[in-house]
Structure 1
Amino acid sequence: MDSATSTEWTFAAGMIPERSSGREPENTSRNVLCLLNATESDGCAEVMIFHEDREPVGPYRISLPAKRVRHVRINDLIDPQAVPYGVPYGLAITSDVRVAAQLVYVDTADGRFAVTALPGTPGR
């Protein structure tokens, strides 16, 4: 499991679609950060959001219960600042336990679900 886990992850290509179709929240276009903590210890991750034309924002703190997966909508990261829709971003994750990380893109703009899942780039 160690080769698939790390305490640092980066994702260079994120963007929450501006448009959605259907009922909220299930049909809202979104990006979802998926973190798997397969360890015996509870942990915490800190997420920093990076933009093309402004300073980084964060950290956003995410609790990581032991032997659990967390799916966190980037759309829901609002403190210290909401992540804007339709604006490219990158993110960096640092956690105090080794986790596996993936970013899922869900676009419902045209009335159908387009879903893409991308693994992150591990640090150490």
Structure 2
Amino acid sequence: MVHTQPTQIDKDAREVAEQLLALLAFRPNDEASLREWYRQAQIFADFLKARPEISDRIPIRIWQFVSDADIRMRDEWLARDQEVVVRKFVSGLRRGLFLPERDIDMEPDTNRRVGDD
């Protein structure tokens, strides 16, 4: 069996996945925890921005997740939607893939709120 060393892109993908999962697991429920969430999200954003070879591959839906914690606290539907999107993206990262927007977005028929008929 041949063992190869992980490439830099593999390492970067793993790091992005770990940081996204940490943000996803942290569910702020008051002003103090929201401020802490945004502090951690800023560290993640700074990590990405310092690496244009990575940040250029981050879909807009992931950037929205990073900036929408306050909205997710008020909108459970958005929270579920963004969690699905982040988990799809992380799934790709674990395979060394930075999935494009079209591959992480929810299916059109599930991207509606109950009662929007």
With normalisation by structure 1, the TM-score equals 0.29
The structure whose Rg is larger is: 2
With normalisation by structure 2, the TM-score equals 0.30
Task: Give the structure with the larger strand fraction.
Answer: 1
Task: Give the structure with the larger helix fraction.
Answer: 2
